[in-house]
Structure 1
Amino acid sequence: MRILHTSDWHIGQRLHGKDRFEEHEKFFSWLLQVLQDKQIDLLLVAGDIFDVGYPSNSALQQYYRFLTLCRESTCQKVIITGGNHDYVSTLNAPKSLLDALNISVIGGVPDSIEQEIVEIKDKNGQLAAFVCAVPYLRDRDIRKGIVGESHEERIEATSMGIANHYKEVADCVEKINTNQLPVIATGHLYMAGVSTSDSERDIQMGNQAAFRWDSFPQNFDYVALGHIHRPQRISNQEQVRYSGSPIPLSFSEKNDQKEVVVIEFMENKLSSVESVKVPLFRRLIGFSGSLDEVASQLQQHHSEGEDTDWAEIHIEEENYDPNLLQKYKELLEMDFDLEIVKPSISFKDRVKGVSELYEEQVALKDLTDQEVFDKLLERSNFEDGAELQNSYQQLLQEMNDKEQ
């Protein structure tokens, strides 16, 4: 049995206002070919299917079109779990229809733990494996708030709640797995020791409730993780992995090699784990230096792929000069063999009201909720910033959970 693990598609994402539709189209075309070439039996998607809770019509059409085309490949079964970006109601809305297509969707924690266990059958209709399809675990799913509890107690309760949920689903599958068939689990969470980018939202107490790989139950043969966009093993464990996102979702991921993971079971044992590189459909690049240096770099650059490269540029000058600002504006209007989507300029001198303006020339839409709050704290003189941070993270998580 061959399984393909992927996650964090973020269909409908816009990068600094630029649509990613074509990149997703090319990824899905490539993925369909991989499903066929690798003779994949089961496709696992570990959360963050969409970038926003209520995706656009084009994003929904793209998603459903791909799922429909999956039926034309060797892939007999698709399992999709919700992530922190996904609204449970959005994913679960077509659940009954997708069930008829042998596509199981678990958008959020269901009413009973048994509903997270999906039976996988082989080509002959024989039971071949079990999937513990655990979605993103929201605060309300794993703990009850207690008046007066400390921040440390909330972190501990969150970690214990995650561990207890996985133990419960593992115990449940153990009772029915009388033939010792493979057990695969999914997860959309923050693991201890991961390498992150700047495009993941903080989850589960601002990522402070990091989960350890050895806290997963021992009867899981493979854990397919989502949420972190850089593909990686956890603590060098081949069987506990983040597949990462298929396209770079921020400029911090511009040098990452994207991949999907193909795992194979033979005679009920995990026999191989293979990283399959995803082609780069559009390059994200960065240039920095003085105005003259960046201008020279832009003029010499040539896009190599089918799609024009997108660039982030940061110009840093010693002294503020209105003429430099005018040249900067003219530079942004020039034609290059790329498209500048994230420009910025700053000055090292401290001319009151000017250098501050340009050092802080970051669009609010480019900042995360946490980064906005951090900047507000920097400008204030609160004595206990740490306590405010803790309270803010709890409030932000509660608001995100209520929206979904």
Structure 2
Amino acid sequence: MRRRIIVLTVLAALVATALFALPLGIAVMQYYRDDTKADLERAADAVALAVSHELNAGLPPQVRPGDEEEADVGVYSPDGRLLSGQGPAVAGPAERQAASAAVDVVIQQESEEVVLAVPVVSGSRVTGVVRAALPMSQLRVRVVLTWLGMAGLATAAIGVSWLLARRFTTRLVRPLEELAATAGRLGDGDFTARSPRAGIPEIDQVGETLDATATRIGETLERERAFSAEASHQLRTPLTGLRLQLEAALETPAADPYAAIRAGIASADRLERTIEDLLALGRERRAPRAELDLDALLDEVRQAGEALLGPQGRALRIIRDDPPPAHVAAAAVRQVLGVLLDNAATHGRGTVTVLARDAGDALAIDVADEGPDLGETDPFATAPTGHGIGLRLARGLAEAEGGRLRLSHPSPPTFTVLLPAAEPPGPA
């Protein structure tokens, strides 16, 4: 790309120089011809004025030094004889034509000279002819020197065009190469790669778009990694319930095996629903939130709680205290309550109480057990053993729905989920 831009720039400079140089060269040649004619005419007129009195009086003319300037000037009689000055002994065509008094000035090229002749007139009679001549070589030297100067300027212009093309090509191509390198690093998985700014709006816009893409991909990947780690912990709850049910069936061989199988199928259904919920919640774009079916949700909580607490000989109480409706994702609330139930079953004691109540402008769901006082400990901090991952995921899901999850009472341990209540419908 660099070579192509440089070649095109130099070629454009060559074409532009040629288009200007050809007519300019012709104009230079015409200019020097006109300038030579003016010099010859000035020299001839000066001598004609100096010798006109002598010619009119019939005296031999005298061409004084300095009258001829740079040209060779001679004075001829009307019959073509050289009377004074420099020139051929016999007049040429230009002098004879001027002697006929048909024209005022005659200019011709004779041999290797440019010749100009003017008549000297006294009344209607031609008393002599003044001839001024310059060699053609002098005219050619002036034209050639000017052309050489023009060629030098054209060469310098093309050289400057080449240098400017290299400079601007470097400025233009280097940002593109850096963009390509940044895109390569991004393709290799380095989402911290950022493209430098070049000061060219179009290229900088591409760089900003690439940086935004890298940032979004990095955030998405980081979010998916964190969510995968937390979701794997969340899947432990239904698996634990299923394992406890199977172990309880093995310890009581006299019990009805069909009941254990039905309980295992129910636990597998809850596990499948948990996977579906996690996949749905892991998507960046979610479906519009509908009104939460609190009755169905609490029934699922009851089934999951009995599966977790029943083998431990612990009870579950679910209380409704005039809870308001809420527009939140049922999958998110179901997973939050599942984490709280698993936390109560694993780290708590005694009866677990789930209370759905009205908290003013929010739906509050309390999950409490009879475990020891939590004191000043932060249950949402992740311990080296891995405890706290589920609670952190539950808090993130609640905040994503516009709600909150907090430890409302350390003793007895009570976690409260606050969800924004739906606005009441306006008057018809």
The answer, yes or no, to whether TM exceeds 0.5 is no
- TM (norm. structure 1) is 0.20
- TM (norm. structure 2) is 0.19
Q: Which structure: greater helix fraction? A: 2
